């Protein structure tokens, strides 16, 4: 599975497109929610179902619409972060995407190899969808990575991108303020 740091970093990067850094740091924890089932020692359970995530999100959206639209923006972002977590997981291990409609868990293997030779350049894609029956039994131990080299790299890249963007926006603001003051 992608490590928790990767899930958090991706959620933080996406949240930062919509909210401030401080608020995004809190909202990004929503991207970890599908893995809460590990606390019950059942991983990739109903919390990894796109069907349940979308159904739950639609019910919450309907309720919030009745109560007032103030929270809809954060709800839509939360649903997106939750679903992105599930989608990231299908590339690493069997995930019950369509449960309870089907008792299958799906994995997508995606690899693109390339070669360069005297005969030319070749790109060889490999895409494989596999499925197996879901296993929602409680386990003695649930193990998984909290941080990995990939998670650290994604975190550094996310922070660098956000920092660069904010610095450029500050630079633009200062530039436009100078231009206005010289008029």
Which sequence spans correspond to the domains of the chain?
Answer: 4-98+145-167
Nearest to 12 by CA among 77, 90, 98: 77
Size (the chain), residues: 183
pLDDT at 181: 53
pLDDT at 177: 60
Query: What is the per-residue pLDDT across 62-106, written as a single tens digit (0 to 9) for each?
Result: 888 887 777 888 999 999 999 999 999 999 999 999 999 999 999
* Cα–Cα distance for residue pair 28/159, rounded to 1 Å: 13
* Cα–Cα distance for residue pair 58/160, rounded to 1 Å: 34
* Cα–Cα distance for residue pair 124/116, rounded to 1 Å: 11
Q: Which residue has the tokens 């799906």?
A: 106
Query: What is the per-residue pLDDT across 130-178, written as a single tens digit (0 to 9) for each?
Result: 999 998 889 899 888 899 999 999 999 999 999 999 888 876 776 666 6
Q: Which residue has the tokens 């959206």?
A: 61
* Residues 71, 73, 75, 78, CA torsion sign: negative
Query: What is the per-residue pLDDT across 100-128, written as a single tens digit (0 to 9) for each?
Result: 999 999 999 999 999 999 999 999 999 99
- Tokens found for residue 6: 């990767």
Mean pLDDT of 47-67: 91
Query: What is the per-residue pLDDT across 1-42, written as a single tens digit (0 to 9) for each?
Result: 689 999 999 999 999 999 999 999 999 999 999 999 888 888
């Amino acid at each position: 599975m992608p490590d928790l740091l990767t899930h958090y970093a991706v959620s933080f990067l996406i949240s930062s497109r919509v909210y401030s850094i401080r608020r995004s740091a809190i909202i990004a924890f929503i991207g970890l929610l599908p893995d809460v089932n590990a606390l019950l020692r059942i991983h990739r359970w109903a919390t990894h179902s796109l069907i349940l995530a979308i159904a739950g999100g639609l019910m919450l959206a309907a309720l919030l619409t009745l109560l007032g639209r103030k929270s809809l923006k954060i709800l839509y972002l939360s649903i997106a972060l939750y679903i992105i977590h599930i989608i990231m997981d299908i590339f690493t291990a069997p995930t019950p995407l369509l449960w309870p409609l089907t008792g299958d868990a799906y994995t997508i293997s995606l690899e693109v190899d390339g070669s360069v030779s005297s005969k030319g350049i070749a790109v060889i894609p490999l895409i494989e969808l596999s499925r197996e029956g879901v296993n929602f039994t409680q386990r003695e131990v649930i193990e998984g990575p909290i941080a990995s080299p990939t998670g650290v790299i994604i975190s550094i890249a996310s922070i660098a991108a956000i920092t660069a963007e904010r610095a450029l926006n500050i630079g633009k603001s200062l530039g436009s303020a100078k231009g206005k003051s010289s008029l």
